[in-house]
Structure 1
Amino acid sequence: MRNLSFILFIGTFLFIYALAHFYVWLRLRQLWPHNERYFWYFTIAYALLAISFVAGRFMIHSHSLLHEIIAWTGSYWLIIALYLFIAILLFDLIRLTNWLVPFLPPRGTTAYMQLRYWMFYGMFGVVLVVVLWGHWNAVHPRIKQITISTHKDFGHKRPLSIVAISDLHMGSLVGKQRLERMVDQINQLNPDIVILAGDLLDEAHGFIFKRDIGEPIRKLKATYGVDAVPGNHEYIGGIASSEKYIRTLSLQWLKDSAVRIGNHITIIGRDDRQGYRMHGKSRKTLPDLLANVDPADFNILIDHQPFHLEETAKYPIDLQISGHTHDGQFWPFNHVVQWVYTLPYGYAKIGNTHFYVSSGYGTWGPPVRIATIPEIVHIVVTRP
C-alpha cells in the first residue's frame, strides 16, 4: 500500500509537470517572433531542460560530473519553468480580460505585435533577474538571534547559547565550501550546544560519500557537543547509509533517544515520521521518550517536522527546535506552508514550551530562495 501511494504520488507529479511544460511551450509557440527554424531549435533545448530535473532526481546515487551538471541545470530550470508558467498564466488572464473589456491594441496591428514582443522578452528578463536574485539570497544566510527565558537551573549563571541548523541538504548543490562558511559562522558564536535538526543530507548519497561533503561538520565546536536527528530526506536517500555516514561526523546521533549534558540539560531527539511512511515503523511516543527524563531539567526536544505542537506542550519540554518547512523556500509556497503548519516558521510559545521552526540553511531542488531567508538560529536562554 505504501509503495502504491508513492507510485501514485510520483505519477501525479510527473503528469502535472509534463502538462505545465506543455502549456508553457504552447504559449511560447504563439508568442515566438516569426522565425520557425529558431523556434524548433528552442523546442529541442526546452525539451532537454524539462527532462533535466527529472533525470537529475533519477541519477541521485551517481557521483559523476554528468550528474552534477544535470542536477544544477534541472534545479535552476525548475524554478525558471515555475515562474514562466505563472507569468504566462497572468498574461492569459490579461487576454481574457481584454476579450471581455477590450483595452489592448487590436490583433494583427503593428502596436499589438510590438506589445507581444515586449511581453515575450520582458517575461524572460524579469524571470531571469528574480531567479538570479533568489540564488544570491539562498547562498547568503543570516544569523537569527532570539532570547528566551526559563526559571529552570541549567547548570551555570551565564546565559545558555544554542545554535540550531536545519535542512542543510548537503550534496551536489550544497557543497563543502558553503559548509565551511557555515561552520566558521557557528564557531564564532561560541555556542554551548549545536543542534542539527534533520535533513543534513540530500538524496545524492554516492556524491556525498565519495567526496566526504560533510567533512567541515567535524570542525564544529561547542561546549556540550553537536547533536543531530534524522529528517525525511535521510529516509528518502536511505536511512541505513545516512546513519552510517552521519555517525562519522563527530556528533551525537539522537534517533528516538535522549542524552543528558552538563548537570541539568537533557536533549531528546525524535525519529522522523517519514520512517513510518516508508517502512511502516512507528517512532517512540513522547511519554516513552520522556520516561527517564528529569522534568526538572531544561529539556530540549528536536523534532524535524513541526506537527502537533499543542500535544508537545502538554509535556515537560522547555524548548522544541524543528525545521522541514523551509518557510516555503520560494514564493508562492511561503503562503502554502501557512495552510499546512500551525507554525510554519519562527518563534511561538504554547503553555510553558518555547518552539522555534527554522527556515533552514540549505535548499531542496532549486538553489534559490525568494521571499524567504536561509538562517543560522542563535537561541540565547536566560534566567530571570
Structure 2
Amino acid sequence: MIAFLFVLLAALALVYVNLSTLAKGKAGRIIALSVLVLLFLSMTFRDTWAGSVAVAFFAVWLPNALLFYIPWTLYRIGYYFTQPHHLSRHFVRRVSRGLLGVTVGIALAMFAYGVPHNDDYKMMDLTVDLPSQYTEGFTAIFFSDIHVDPLFKAEKLQRFIAQADSIKPDYLLFGGDLADVSMEQLDAWGYDSLFKMLTSKAKVAAVAVNGNHESMQERAGSNPNDWMRKVGFVVLDDSTACIGKACFTGRTDYMVARGRDVLRRPLAELIPDSLQLTEIPQDSMGAVAANESVAGAPVVDSLADTAAARIAYDTTVVRRPWILLDHQPKGIEKGHVGRFPDMALSGHTHDGQFFPVTFIINYVWKVAYGKGALGGVFWLVSSGFDCWGPPVRFGSDSEFWIIKFKPHENVMPE
C-alpha cells in the first residue's frame, strides 16, 4: 500500500510539472493545479454521473500520459545537465501542448473502442475433471467484479440473467466487488430486484464472497454482505458451506480484514472435513441459504429472515469437491497444513483492463488471468464481468465462466 501511494504521488507530481508548462508562469500552474483538484473532486463524488465520467477519463488518460511524460521529463533533465543552454520555454510549451493533445486523443480513441468492447462480454468454457473420489458432477457459473456505478448498464446484467436462465447452472459463484455505490443506491436503482432474479437461476445455490471494494462500502457505512444475502446469495466471509454436491470456502478479502482490523482465519480451520456441516433448505424464493461454523462456534444464518428452527445439522463427514473463492489471487497461505482445495477462483486483476496496465499486470500477479497454479492449487482468475472506473476494455475482455465439473467414471474391469 505504501509503495502504491508513493507511485501515485510521483505520477501526480509528474503530471503537475508537465501541465504547468502549458501556459506562461502563474497561468500554467493554475491549469495544472485545477486538473489535480478536479481529479480529487471526481473521486469524492464518484457515486454521481459527472464524478464517474471524470474518474473514467482520468483513469484512462493518466497511464497513457505517463508513457509520454516520463521520457519527455527525463530528456529535459538530461538536457539541463549536459547542454550549455537550456531548452527554450517556448519550445517546452509547444511540446507540452502537443503531448496533451496526443494523450487526450489516445484516451478518446480508447473510449470509442473500449466501451462497446466492454459491453460485448464473452462466455468462457472450462471443464474440470474431478479426482477419482468424487463421482457426481455439476455445473457452475463463475463471475466477478461487477462494480455497479452510475456508468454501469443494467441492460448488461439483464442479458446475463437471461443467459444464466438458459444455462441453468447448479451454482452461481460470485468472486467479489459488487458495487462502487452504497447499498441504498442499489435499491433505488432497482438492482435488488435484478440480483434476486439472477440468484434464482442457480438450481442449488448462489455463493458470494466480498472483495476489496466491499471494504470501501463498509467504511462508508454500508453492509454489502447483508445486501448480498438479502438478494439471495450465500455469503461466505472466512467460512465454509457444504451445499449439495460441493463444499465452498469464501475468504474475507485482505482489505476487508484490514478495514475491520482483524486477521483472516487460517485456511486449515476452514477445511470442510474438519467442520460441522450445516445445510438450510430452500427458502420461499427458491434460493438456498447455507453456512457453516467450526465446532463450538456460533452458526450464523446466511439470510437475514431465516429462522434458527429451520437449520438442519449434518455431522456426517462427506467427501465433496472443495472449491475456494478468494477475491485476490494471492495463493494459499504459507504453512497451510491439511487438505488443499480442489480448485480456487479469483477476480480482482481485470487482466489489466486497458493498455498499458494490461502489460504491467503480468509483473504484479503470478497468475494475472486465466488458468494457473498457486501453491499447488489449480487456480482460475477471471478478468471480471465489468470494470472499475472507466467502462473501457482495451487489450482485455469482460467475461463470465461456465465451469463443468466432470465426475469420475468408475470403469469396470473386463
Same fold (TM over 0.5): yes
Partner-residue secondary structure (3-state), 2:339: coil
1:51 alignment counterpart: 37
User: Residues 223 and 337 from structure 1, CA distance in 2 versus in 1: closer, same or farther, beyond 3 angstroms?
Assistant: same
* Counterpart mapping for 1:209-288 below 5 A: 209-220=187-198, 221-238=201-218, 241-262=223-244, 264-288=245-269
Name the CA distance, whole Å, in 1 between partners of 2:383 and 2:349. 6
2:393 is aligned with 1:369: yes
Name the counterpart of 2:63. 82
Counterpart of 2:332 (choices 295, 309, 314) is 309
Q: How does 1:72-111 map to 2 (within 5 A)?
A: 72-90=53-71
Q: Deviations over 1:293-319 (max 9, x none)?
A: 757211111111111337579624111
Q: Partners of 2:5 and 2:59 in 1: how far apart? A: 17
How far off is 1:333 after superposition? Answer: 2.5
1:194 counterpart SS class: strand
1:131·1:368 contact (CA, 8 Å) conserved in 2? yes
1:379 is matched with which residue? Answer: 403
1:1-384 matches, cutoff 5 A: 12=6, 15-16=9-10, 18-29=12-23, 49-60=35-46, 67-90=48-71, 121-152=101-132, 156=136, 159-220=137-198, 221-238=201-218, 241-262=223-244, 264-290=245-271, 291-292=274-275, 294=317, 296-309=319-332, 315-349=339-373, 353-384=377-408
The letter for the 1-side match of 2:169 is P
Cα deviation for residue 237 of structure 1 reads 1.4
1:336 CA displacement: 3.2
* Amino acid corresponding to residue 375 of structure 1 in structure 2: E
TM-score of the superposed pair, with normalisation by structure 1: 0.78
Q: For residues 44-102 of structure 1, what are the alpha-carbon distances to aligned partners after superposition, in whole Å with 9 as ceiling and x for unaligned?
A: 78765543332232235xx6xxx2212222222231233223234445668899999xx
Q: How has the CA–CA distance of structure 1 residues 9 and 206 changed in structure 2, closer, same or farther, with 3 Å as cutoff?
A: farther
- Separation of aligned partners in 1, 2:330 and 2:36: 34
Whether the aligned pair in 1 keeps the contact of 2:250 and 2:324 (CA below 8 Å) is: yes
After superposition, the Cα gap between the structure-2 partners of 1:353 and 1:51, relative to the gap in structure 1 and judged at 3 Å, is: same
CA shift, 1:153, in A, is 5.9
Aligned length: 358
1:70 is paired with a residue whose SS is helix
Task: Give the aligned CA root-mean-square deviation in angstroms.
Answer: 3.9
Instruction: Give CA deviations for 1:93-152 in whole Å, capped at 9, x if unaligned.
Output: 68899999xxxxx999xxxx9999977655543342133222232222211112121134
Q: Which moved more, 1:192-201 or 1:305-314?
A: 305-314
Farther-moved stretch of structure 1 (291-300 vs 134-143): 291-300
CA separation of 1:46/1:135 partners in 2, compared to 1, >3 Å: closer, same or farther?
farther
CA distance in 1, matches of 2:153, 2:329: 26
Contact 1:275-1:282 within 8 A present in 2 as well: no
**Cα separation, 2, equivalents of 1:121 and 1:381:** 51
Could you tell me which amino acid in structure 2 is paired with residue 71 of structure 1?
S
Letter aligned with residue 283 of structure 1: R
Is contact 1:50–1:74 with CA below 8 Å preserved after alignment? no
- C-alpha displacement at 1:214, in angstroms? 4.4
Which structure: greater helix fraction? 1
Structure 2 partner of 1:103: none
Separation of aligned partners in 1, 2:121 and 2:241: 29
Percent of aligned pairs with the same amino acid: 22
Determine the C-alpha separation between the residues in 1 that align with 2:209 and 2:203: 19
